[in-house]
Amino acid sequence: MTELLKPKDELTAIVENADYGDVSLPPDLKDHTWFIKYESTNPLLSDTDTGDEWHLQITAEEHTGLTEDHGCIIDFVGYKRGEIAMTRNGEILNETEAEVREDASGENFPRFKAYDFKIKNLEKTTGPIDRERLSRTFDQQRQESERNLIDTLDTAFSRLGGVEPNASPASVQAYLQGLDPSQRKAIVEMADDEIEESEEAVTS
């Protein structure tokens, strides 16, 4: 369970203007509680005992406004504040308030350990640039594969009885782009088989 606390806009501005590497944060952001997590003390609901500190490392965090596009590695530490009680409607009570409410209503409220999460370290990486380069490389490889496919088909058509292909490379490419990957693969394999058979016939 997570309680949301509104992040400060200055954090994203600092990250966007920072160099790659560790990002220095002002004291108000270092001490700011970005969100709160609760861990049940009921062993039937949770067998986890986090202790006094809860460590998280993530690359995007909605409470801070940082997304994957910022390329950050965020180290959070949740510091245990103590135990709280929670009512059916989600109201948070300290122990004294809970005991008074329980005595008056006869209802027992579940107990949780509350952790206040603060940023321990923030690193800005080249992740978004690397992903963009990888995407461009993938697109280039795909285009090269399509060009090779067209060349293979052209060779197959030209060697089958010496007939030149009727379709232009642009038309062949448009046709191939309309096929699913399995159909493209089948056509390439057929073309390769035709080339191999034609070469064997010539040499025999």
The tens digit of pLDDT for each residue in 27-45 reads: 999 999 999 999 999 988 8
Q: Which helix H or strand E contains 16, and what residues bound it? A: helix 9-17
- Identify whether residues 121 and 96 lie together within a single domain: yes
Residues 103 and 119 in one domain: yes
The 10 Å CB-count burial string (b at 16+, else e) for 124-160 is beebeeeeeeeeeeeeeeeeeeeeebbebbbbbbebe
Closest C-alpha among 195, 183, 201, 196 to residue 151: 195
Cα 56 from Cα 79, distance rounded (Å): 11
Clarify whether residues 134 and 106 are in a common domain: no
12 and 74 both lie in a single domain: yes
Query: What's the pLDDT at 60?
Result: 87
Cβ distance 37 to 76 under 8 Å?
no
Query: Of 125, 156, 175, which closes a domain?
Result: 125
Question: Do 37 and 103 fall within a single domain?
Answer: yes
Q: Is the pTM higher than 0.85?
A: no
What does the pLDDT look like over 153-197, one tens digit per residue? 666 555 544 334 555 556 666 666 776 778 767 766 766 665 565
d(CA 82, CA 104): 24
In the chain, the number of structural domains is: 2
Share of the chain above pLDDT 90, in %: 42
Last residue of a domain, one of 125, 147, 162: 125
Identify whether residues 47 and 107 lie together within a single domain: yes
Are residues 46 and 32 part of one domain? Answer: yes
Range of the domain at 16: 2-125
Contact yes or no for 37/123 (Cβ under 8 A): no
Helix (H, G, I), strand (E, B) or coil at 118: strand
Question: Residue 1 class from Cβ within 10 Å (0-12 exposed, 13-18 middle, 19+ buried)?
Answer: exposed
Q: Cα separation of 152 and 147, whole Å?
A: 9
How many angstroms separate the Cα of 183 from the Cα of each of 84, 120, 139, 168? Answer: 61, 52, 20, 20
Residues 195 and 118 in one domain: no
pLDDT digits (tens, 9 = 90+) for 5-27: 455 788 998 999 999 999 999 99
* Structural domain ending residue among the three candidates 103, 125, 147: 125
CB 154 within 8 A of CB 172: yes
Examine the domain organization and report whether 16 and 49 are in the same domain: yes
Average pLDDT rounded to a whole number, residues 88-98? 92
Statement to judge: residues 27 and 118 lie in one domain? yes
Same domain, yes or no, for 37 and 91?
yes
Average pLDDT over residues 42-60: 90
- 3-state SS, residue 6: coil
Are 51 and 84 in the same domain?
yes
